[in-house]
Amino acid sequence: MIITRTFDVDLIKSVVTSDTFWDSGTEDGAIKECYEPSLQKYVWLVVENDGVLVALIPLEHIGAVTVMVHFLVLKEHRKESRNIANCLLQWFNKTDYQKIITEIPEIYPHVIRFAAGAGLKQEGIRTKSHLKNGELIDMHLYGATKEEINKGF
């Protein structure tokens, strides 16, 4: 698998606004037709396997040493999720970032298991901080330092 940065706004938009990701990845009130990806706020990574797109990974700078990650693994490649996570963690190890974090709505236990399986640890819960289908739900916070990740390799 190869991970590279992309600036292709059309590719980003097509993945993020796809039915696979839009409904599960946005809060109530988000308007698909108005979505425009930010190349300022996010570093967008594509993961390809033999030239085929398998995942899009937006990274948000949280501070000088911390990055927040979200995984958008294409449905037909979800069986490769572990390899995609390892690819990202190898990329992360080559950066100056020291901490990787993510936020996961509690209504997605499979994503919580995925984060834990990738070596991220639960760091807290932001209660009733995500609006989905008219209901306020908790967000689970997961993260790991570079040192913690390297212990797993």
Structure confidence by residue, pLDDT tens digits, 80-132: 888 888 888 889 989 999 999 999 999 999 889 889 888 899 999 999 999 99
For 7-120, where are the E strands, in sequence order?
A: 42-49, 52-61, 66-69, 72-73, 99-105
* Whole-number Å distance between alpha carbons of 4 and 46: 5
Whole-structure pTM over 0.85, yes or no? yes
Residues 6 or more apart in contact with residue 104 via CB below 8 angstroms: 111, 112, 115, 139, 140, 142
